[in-house]
Amino acid sequence: MKVKAYCLLLILCFSLSKFVWASEVPAILKTDLPPPELTAKTWILMDFQTGWTLASKDADTQIEPASLAKIMTTYVVFKEIENGNIKFEDMVHVSKKAWRTGGSRMFIEVDTKVSVADLLRGVIVQSGNDAAVALAEHVAGSEDAFATRMNEYGKKLGLTNSNFTNAAGLPDPNNYSSARDLSVITAATIREFPEYYKWYAEREFTYNEITQPNRNKLLYRDPSVDGVKTGYTKSAGYCLVGSALRDSMRLIATVTGTKSGSRRTKEVQTLLTYGFSSYKAVKLAEAGNALKQIKVYMGDQKQVGVGVTDNLYFIAPRAKESQIKTKINAPTSLIAPITVGQELATLDVMLGDEQLTQYPLGAIAAVGEGSWWEQAIDYVLLWFE
């Protein structure tokens, strides 16, 4: 009964420790360095690992997303592929509506067929409005129906200040988002679809014998930057979501409403520089290593190690990185069978006596049921547990 009660408590603790994307970095972890002053209308700097906001200005203000809405468009397409509803190899019929869509274009031709994979690169690298509409029609039958799907996925991601009415991000009073929501969508894309996110790092894409460069100039200037997306309309101004990975620490910086393309690039770079110079990734656990051994009854093994499947990092101000400590909460014993990855313990991240966050620890190996004789002996031993 004690083991079962602990497992129920562990499940509750883990459910409460999932990422809260709207949360600010805890006061105890704030850097002493003042955030930069930017000209962007709204902006945010987010840590990818924790989801914490390191610095921001009006990050929840509703803004016109322009082509940054295409980050949600591609996220929806990736989800539909994951769910088996469409495939990369699907050949998409180009409608007149898609072909006629103005603004930035991939230059697909009406009544031709283009693969989903090419259309995705047309959206991601070339920011093609025509490609976005073609994908929307292929996924949902119409762009309006696709917008409904965008909003459904948005609710699942916990977006609080977004409503999408079209796939390309074209101006519409009811088409809006926020710097924070756009960063959340970006983080979800990187976390859920790392194998597809790599397209955001491509510097150019050629279709129909037309080569177009990626409008994200940071890709050419900073080797640590691997995305994400630019946006512009006259009413929205120049916008950019940028992400960079340095020394196992990933940051996402979003600026909206700047006055020029060069300004958005400079201000995202400023945010990234500020974040990387102020914070550092602290390694908490090595993938596959046992952080603790727990005694097992009724099993073909007498103990099981708990750990993480991926290297686990945590951010801290550079002045406090050596003060970050961890504490493992685990039961004294467990009952077999146990499966690989089964959540068995938690890892508390501490700064002094203050708990900062908590991560689940899973079994790094399976433990099957023991023989009838082993189980009989353990049954007796459990009375003394």
Which CATH number belongs to the domain containing residue 352 in this structure?
2.60.410.10
Whole-number pLDDT of residue 371: 82
* Widest distance between CA atoms in the chain: 77
Query: Are residues 10 and 54 located together in one domain of the fold?
Result: no
Q: Which domain range does residue 247 map to?
A: 31-281
Tokens representing 30 are 């704030």
Active site residues: 67, 70, 127
Whole-number pLDDT of residue 1: 35
Residue 26, domain member (yes or no): no
Query: Are residues 8 and 43 located together in one domain of the fold?
Result: no
Q: DSSP letters along 210-238, please?
A: EEEE-S-THHHH-TTEEEEEEEEETTTEE
Query: Are residues 166 and 311 located together in one domain of the fold?
Result: no
Q: How many other CB atoms are found less than 10 A from the CB of residue 374?
A: 16
Whole-number pLDDT of residue 5: 36
Q: Are 263 and 238 in contact (CB under 8 A)?
A: yes
Tokens representing 58 are 């009006």
Q: In the 8-state DSSP scheme, what is residue 367?
A: B
> How many residues in the chain?
385
Whole-number pLDDT of residue 149: 98
| CA within 13 Å, CB half, 328 | 19
C-alpha span between 264 and 258 (Å, rounded)? 6
**Residue where a domain stops, chosen among 281, 312, 346:** 281
Residue 191, domain member (yes or no): yes
Whole-number pLDDT of residue 374: 74
Query: Are residues 133 and 174 located together in one domain of the fold?
Result: yes
- The pTM (predicted TM-score) of the whole model is 0.88
Spans of the chain below 50 pLDDT: 1-20
C-alpha span between 207 and 59 (Å, rounded)? 36
Query: Are residues 251 and 192 located together in one domain of the fold?
Result: yes
Q: Convert the pLDDT of each residue in 298-329 to its tens digit.
A: 889 999 999 999 899 999 999 998 999 999 99
Query: Are residues 112 and 197 located together in one domain of the fold?
Result: yes
Whole-number pLDDT of residue 297: 87
What is the total count of domains within the chain? 2
SS3 state of residue 195: helix
